[in-house]
Structure 1
Amino acid sequence: MTGTTRPASWSSRLFFWWADHPLAQIAVFIVMSTLATIGFTNPSLITDWIPERLEQTDQSNASTRSGRDRNRRNMDYPDGGRVPENVQPFQVGGGQCILVATIGPSSDADFFSGPNLRALRRVAEGLQEMPQIDDVMWLDSVPSFNLFGLSGTLLPSDNASQRQLDEARSRVLENPLAVGQLISGDGRTVLMHLGIDWFFVTSDDAVTTEIRQRAESIASQVPGASLRFQLTGPVPLHLMMANNHVTDSTKYQLIGYSIMLLSAVILFRGFSAVVIVAVAPAVGVLWTTGMLHYLDLQDNPFNDIIVPVLVSLVGLTDSVHLMVEIRQQRASGLEVNEAARRGVSRVGMACLLTSTTTAIGFLSLLGAHHEIVRDFGMCCVVGVAMTFISVLTVIPLGCRSPLGRRLHVGLGKSLVDGQLRRIGPLVDWVLRRDRAVARVAIAVTLALALISLQLQPDEKRYSGLSESGEAAQALRHLDRALGGLEFSTVDVRWYGDSDDGELLDVLGEVDTLLAGEPLIGNPLGLGQLLAALPGEGDAKERMTLLELLPPSLKRAFYVPERRFASVQFRVQDLGIAAYNDTFQRIEKGLESIADRHPDFELILEGHAVWRWSNIYQIVTDLATSLGTASVVIWLVLTIVYRSVRIGLISIIPNLFPLAATAAMLVFSGQHLEMVTVCVFTICVGIAVDDTIHFLTRYQEEMKQGGEHEDVIRRAFTGVGSALLMTTIVLVAGLASAIAGDSRDARIFGIMGCLTLATALFADVLLLPAMLSRYAKSRRR
């Protein structure tokens, strides 16, 4: 222990005490690592003592609510709303896997040619023989509209003449159950919906590549056939997203961490310092992921990439600031233990403040409407807390370890030191023109913030897919050829004694409404089925023809026992923002129809509709949390620095990078998606961290006295190296995602790099100008 006089402030005394007690640090490290290990292996050892009564109460309440909802649904319909058990309604979709067959680009024919039709039929027969395929539904499965009960299919036999093939083309392309549903309007794309028998599925390939390869093998044996096959649908898309999620998260994290580590080695010019800096956030990530198991939050979709990246970035920022301070103290001639002591004392409070403001900001997510957002906020709070503990535990211990003996290696030779000397004159120029720079900073920030308000929420269901993947390419092809893979519906219910004629009138108005929307693909319902039948007459007379159809077709879109009918339509994966006006017009039109027919209730349903009505709330929750976090951060900084002036000054450097990145999204035609808001959430923490470190050093230098401009220069010199290092390392790491094949990964990388770069610009140039112009009253 040296004879250095301890500072009087409680924070300095606290962090000096912590730095002087390595046994306490070792104890914390062991306890936290043990808890994290138990969380990974068997968290029930800790959580079993939690009373089960609350869970049982929740389950009981859920069961009661479910029963009430079920009774409420059934009380409106005769016979409890049951559909006759011996009738299976025909569906033109719903396959777990969808084989997309297209004509090769070198062929001018369509599927109504002898070789192509023969190959297609043999493919269907061959797929049906595969043990994992339960059923195959395609054009040959469509029930006939034969009113005389005669059996038959849409497609002719394999040896049909060209005249018969031409007649079949006309018949198929006029059939509402076929065109736009199972075959494209140009006759060059055909879908086969495959049901899966999961008992025989032993690998992912069994429901992906094996099916496509079997189809290709069969088609290649038919002379003259020119077919190509791709597999998509719920199962292949889910597997692709899951595999991409695992492989991409691992790949990009490894690439990103490797680049950050290599950049840190080059910048620090000292291996020991880099190892200590890198281990601290890595331990924070491990502790975080282990602790999340106790809260049962490990399955949140953000946790595999977003939370680890957030934790590692926040931890790396604080680690670099702390290590740079320790090395500067070492350069002043202090022994490594004393340098670590001084470093923890000087930077520890700033690390605590950055962790507190970041955690409070994420706590605002707990008030969100959706569970996934609330859980994400809790995960981030846990991660920030674990990172703070790991940084202040690992780095002092690392300095006391054998690695600390070579902590001075590379000191003064860093590439950043040379760049810092180059930036120094620019800072002097800013200080000489502080009034103009400050005013421009405020004006530009406000202008960018106003532009960013034009961002609209959006979400693509499969935006995270690798665009080079088979399932994704087939999905995009279906968007173009058939109007999309996903279905939504207009559900029609009626009460009282409404007759069939009025029902058909209502369905006709719904059809007219949907037909007027260009983004709605191929509406299909009772009206289209009746329109395809021969004969004329009013609505009530045509409803009688329905009884002549096969039972599976009668109940495809019409269940009289439940007083229910529906019209389905296709939705492309263009993003919910593209359908905002469309869905709004449809809902308004449905309300108008219901007003004209009081006994009818019309509801727009489907996953796309749910995302349209809920994704706005999810994204809005995230965006609101950012605003709340900004206000909280200003309040915390105002209280901690005991200055409203300093709190107001901090707004510009914190808001500028977010506003600049958001404006870039507006100019590039992008929308406010969950991935973009998550990037904002991550980067605002990094930007605030650098601002807090600068302001903390500024206040310390103010206590030393001197001209105000000299105080700012000393503050910049003290933290400038750390600011440059963290930005260069983090930008290098995030840039690895730009080369990714996934759209979300590219957006993540581009936005992350832009936000961090503009945050450095704001802290190095705008913040000194703001302090010079508006903090002069604090001059001593």
Structure 2
Amino acid sequence: MKSSKTTTTNRITSGIANGIVAARWAIIALFIAVIAIAGYYITQFRIDASADTLLVKDNKLYIRTQVANEVFSPDEFILLAYQPKDHTLFSNTTFNDINALSEDIRKLERVKAVTSILTVPLVDDASALTGGTDVSSLTWQQQKYSPETMKSLVSGHPIFTDLLINREETATAIQIVFQENAELREIEKEITDIQSGLLDGELTDEQQARIETLKAKADPIRQALTSQRKKEIQQIEEITDQVSERADTYLGGSYVVGQHLIDIIKSDLKIFGTAIGVVIALLLALLYRSWKWVFFPLLACSVSVIITMGLFGMLDMRTTVISANFIALQLILTLAVMIHLIGSYRDIARKESQYSQKERVTETLIDKLSPCFYATLTTSVGFGSLIFSGLQPVVDFGWMMLVSMLVTMSVSLLLFPALLCLVPKSEETHEYGFLQSLLERVRRLTLGAPKRVGALCLLVFLACAAGIVRLDVENSFIDYFDTDTQVHQELAFIDQQFGGSTPLDIILSIPDNVQNDELILTADMVNQLQLVQKAVEAFEATGSVTSLVNFTELARDLNNDKPLTEYELTSIYHLLDKQVVNQLVGAYFSGENEQLRISVRIQDTTEGLDRETFVSQLKQDLNTVGLSEQEYSLTNLFILYQDILSRLFDSQVKTLGIVYVVLGLVLLAIFRSVKVALIALVPNVLTTLGILGIIGWLGIPLDIMTITIAAIAMGIAVDDTIHFLHAWLAGADRNPETSEAQSASKHAFGHTGLAILFTTTIIAIGFSLFGFSDFLPSVYFGLLTATAMLMALITDTTLLPALLTLFVTKRRSQDNSA
């Protein structure tokens, strides 16, 4: 006999189902209006690959970096490397090519300066600097030095090596400096000035509001600048084509990488979104052999994506490196709900062929409305846990997927049944016999030997989970891209040949006792800088290191290896500062702020690079050479990226802990049984731990993409658990002639088993397509999610029924017989 709660629930479900069918025309009209509005806003959908999308809101390290950039004002630039093919680097062919490239690049609209070994002053005697010589005349452009002279002047240069020429002297580089946008510069300066207050305390509500206003004002300028930069990259690549027969060229720079990243994300969205759609269509046609079961799922998936993208455009929720795969996720999540609805409809149509189309749809909703709603709810819990990760892109991804799930649920449970009512009823094809036979064998195995099946499943998944101890968060941004891609080759070449690709700045405070108003450089300052610079250079991963020390080395080289006086060094610094320094490597001294800057670039391709160990050891070494933590700060991209990596593992633990607890509470609310909720939780916990273990065993680094796999696997896999468990419990009392376990297992495997199998097959194959991406985080994301789905299929069809047989339906049967 059914309980009063069950009867009440059924009555509510029946009322909602009848209401949806009765309001079908209103629902269709509403969705047409929503799609029209979404279509308008979809043009405002944006992809954002900027650095701050990877950071926690109000990240103090980021603010310190911005403050340092305001003080020392390093220029925005692109590095264009030139590597001769069949001629030597120091040759007239090289000089002519570099000169021609530089002349064409100077014509670009935003270009402020073009610097190369042909445009910098080259001297071999200190008297040229201290004797009133016009430094600007001592360049190849003015003097037309011979290749031999150029080689003697440039080789081993303390400033230009690793910047304009590599150490092996096989490649040279052109630095292209761009004019900054004055309006954007002022806005960013004001934002930084306000945010710097976070370094000492909290911001007021008025300050936060002002920051938001400034960001909104800056946004269209940044959007225009992004478009301009893309155009500039294309123009530079076209210019370099003129030397392609004689040399290989490589572009480097932060926004070059950012643009490549945006291009790859857009390409993946277009290519893999389309590919997944095609695969879905083919698999649906193969599994159901009916055009309507291809058309309706694809229509639902398309409508879900259009509405979601329109909402993101309207709400200005921008996709980032992580959330770029939301389209593929939403396609598959929508499809998962659709397959369960279609499976129920086909089952009802075969059993109750006399029903009208409206009756078939109504009965389908009565059967599947609750489990589909619960499954969507629990999936949302999985994604919602990402909001608490502490990593901004992961947080944004969590919010975006919550919006996506709301749209998916609305389209699947409202629009699909409303449209289905308009289709004439027809006879449904039978399911494939071999698939039903396979599921029947699994059912008998779990029913006949639940302890052995459960034990074996637990052992296998615990063995997988053991790989968690091997999880590593160390990663390299270069390794995000496939080795065959242009961006990987460019990053690797610049990284290896021109002193590294990831900037790290050491900002030193000048002690009062070493300052001198008349001197830029005092002996104490130089000694301190030399000690620090030698400490940094001692690391294997250290590439280019530049500071005022480099000018002292240049002066010493020019003075027959004898040091110059403090006054002579100050004179040289002023001369070179105006001619070279600001164009090449930014400033290194701020008298107003009483700070010195050491510019370091880290070589990301260094084998075995451990960023956490690097930073820790660097701090120890700085302390050894006499610097306290109050006397310096570490800033720029290397530190910011290390901060992200350091948060990953803690974020993963926190995310999983939250999702386990919240999901357990939701399952308890759904099934109103602690025992059933815990049993439902077990296969999903094992799936998430198992997939993390596989990541560890395979040596795949935990990064901002793979960190989401466990929560996504939990969110998607729990769908099948809910449907299977709901069918199991509903079938327990259906056949009084058999035991509860027998009746429940037949209903669960027969009613939802095929739907689960179909869902998993389509999802696994769909996600596997990401294996062909050039963006390795997407490759891992796709293949690992597909693996997680297969693992979930195994646990839901073996461990789950075994546990239910042992601890739920079997005991019920014993209680009834008593």
Normalization by structure 1: what TM-score? 0.83
Identify the residue that residue 309 of structure 1 maps to in structure 2. Answer: 328
Q: What amino acid sits opposite 1:475 in the alignment?
A: L
- Cα distance 1:101–1:218, how it changes in 2: closer, same or farther (>3 A)? closer
Residues 638-649 of structure 1 correspond to what in structure 2 (within 5 A)?
638-649=668-679
Residue from 74, 84, 99 that aligns with 2:80? 99
In 1, Cα distance between the equivalents of 2:513 and 2:459?
66
Per-residue Cα deviation, 1:696-750 (whole angstroms, up to 9, x for no partner): 1111011325324412233112111101111111122222221222222322221
State the Cα deviation string for residues 216-237 of structure 1 (Å, max 9, x = none): 42686xxxxx422233333433
Residue of structure 1 in register with 2:349 after alignment = 330
Counting matched residue pairs gives 722
Shift of 1:391: 1.0
Residues 206 and 158 (structure 1), Cα distance of their counterparts in 2 relative to 1, 3 Å cut:
farther
Deviation at 1:675, TM superposition (A): 1.5
Partner SS, residue 135 of structure 1: strand
Q: Which of 150-159 and 7-16 deviates more?
A: 150-159
Q: Which whole-Å CA distance do the structure 1 matches of 2:244 and 2:387 have between them? A: 55
Q: Secondary structure at the match of 1:176?
A: coil
Identify the residue that residue 49 of structure 1 maps to in structure 2: none
Question: Which residue in the other structure is 2:385 paired with?
Answer: 364
The answer for the alignment partner of 2:720 in structure 1 is 690
For structure 1, list consecutive stretches of 5 or more residues without a partner in the other structure: 1-5, 44-61, 75-80, 221-225
Alignment of 1:725-740 (within 5 A): 725-740=758-773
* SS of aligned partner of 2:774: coil
Higher alpha-carbon deviation: 26-35 or 271-280 = 26-35
Q: Cα deviations across residues 623-675 of structure 1 (Å, max 9, x unaligned)?
A: 52233112211222133222222222223321233233222222222111122
SS in 2 for 1:653: helix
1:170: how far off? Answer: 4.2
Contact 1:448 1:660 in 2 (8 A): yes
Select between 305-314 and 742-751 the one with higher mean Cα deviation: 305-314
1:58 paired residue number: none
Aligned partner of 1:281: which letter? C
Greater alpha carbon shift after TM alignment, 520-529 vs 432-441: 432-441
- The residue correspondences of 1:312-391 to structure 2 (distance < 5 A) are 312-334=331-353, 335=355, 336-391=357-412
* 2:304 match: 284
Q: Per-residue CA shift, 1:499-523, capped at 9, x if unaligned? A: 5333223212211221121111121
> 1:342 offset after TM fit, Å?
2.0
Answer yes or no: is 1:517 the counterpart of 2:550: no
| 1:110–1:188 contact (8 Å) kept in structure 2 | yes
Inter-partner Cα distance in structure 2 for 1:217 and 1:463: 30
Q: Secondary structure at the match of 1:140?
A: coil
User: What displacement does 1:563 show?
Assistant: 1.5
Aligned to 1:588: 620
Alignment partner of 2:249: what SS?
Answer: strand
Task: Give the secondary-structure state (helix, strand or coil) at the position aligned to 1:175.
Answer: coil
Structure 2 vs 1, CA of residues 454 and 300 (structure 1 numbering), >3 Å: closer, same or farther? same
Letter in 2 for 1:210: Q
Q: Which residue of 1 aligns with 2:177?
A: 195
* Matched residue SS, 1:231: strand
Which digits, 9 at most, give the CA deviation of each residue in 1:466-514, with x for residues without a partner?
6544344211211222242332211111243335333223212211221
Of 523, 526, 530, the match for 2:548: 526
Distance in 2, matches of 1:153 and 1:420, equals 84
Whether the 8 Å contact between 2:507 and 2:633 is mirrored in structure 1 is: yes
Of 111, 116, 129, 2:94 maps to 116
2:461 and 2:686 in contact (8 A); partners too: yes
Code of the residue aligned with 1:9 in structure 2: it is T
Matches within 5 A, 1:469-484: 469-484=485-500
Q: Give 2:739's match in structure 1, choosing from 707, 716, 719.
A: 707
Deviations 1:314-345 (A, max 9, x none): 22111111110111111112423323222211
Q: Which blocks of at least 5 consecutive residues in structure 2 are unaligned?
A: 43-56, 182-223, 516-521, 582-586
> How far 1:211 moved relative to its partner?
2.3
Distance 1:313 1:212, change over 3 A: closer
> Contact 1:207–1:236 (CA<8 Å) still a contact in 2?
no
CA–CA distance in structure 2, aligned partners of residues 168 and 389 of structure 1: 70
Structure 1 position 25, deviation (Å): 4.2
Q: What percent identity do the matched residue pairs reach?
A: 19
d(CA) in 1 for partners of 2:307 and 2:745? 37
Distance change (3 Å), C-alpha of 1:519 and 1:577: closer
Note if contact 2:622-2:628 (Cα within 8 Å) is conserved in structure 1: no
Say which of 593, 603, 615 aligns to 2:633.
Answer: 603
2:648–2:707 contact (8 Å) kept in structure 1 = no
Deviation at 1:19, TM superposition (A): 2.2
Report the RMSD for the aligned CA atoms in angstroms.
3.7
Q: Confirm whether residue 547 of structure 1 aligns to residue 528 of structure 2.
A: no
Counterpart of 2:175 in 1: which secondary structure? strand
Which amino acid letter does the alignment assign opposite residue 494 of structure 2?
L
CA contact (8 A) 2:443 2:745 kept: no
Separation (CA, whole Å) in 2 of partners of 1:262 and 1:248? 20
Distance in structure 2 (CA, Å) of the matches to 1:550 and 1:137: 18
Asked if 1:778 corresponds to 2:812, the answer is yes
In the other structure, the counterpart of 2:12 is 14
Is 2:30 the counterpart of 1:31?
Answer: yes
Q: What is the rounded CA distance, in whole Å, between the counterparts of 1:277 and 1:571 in structure 2?
A: 49
The code of the aligned residue for 2:23 comes to A
Structure 1 CA distance for aligned equivalents of residues 594 and 179 of structure 2: 33
Contact 1:36–1:291 (Cα < 8 Å) also in 2: no
Q: C-alpha separation between the residues in 2 aligned to 1:561 and 1:124?
A: 35
TM-superposed deviation, 1:271: 1.5
Q: Compared with structure 1, are the counterparts of its residues 447 and 240 closer, same or farther at alpha carbon in structure 2 (3 Å cutoff)?
A: same
Pair 1:396–1:668, CA change in 2 (3 A): same
Q: How far 1:141 sits from its partner (Å)?
A: 3.4
TM-score when scaled to structure 2? Answer: 0.80
Letter of the structure 1 residue corresponding to residue 9 of structure 2: S
Query: Does residue 1:498 correspond to 2:510, yes or no?
Result: no
- 1:180 matched to 2:162? The reply is yes
Query: Of residues 288, 293, 296 in structure 2, which corresponds to 1:273?
Result: 293
Distance (whole Å) between structure 1 residues aligned to residue 156 and residue 638 of structure 2: 28
- Is the aligned partner of 1:214 residue 2:196? no
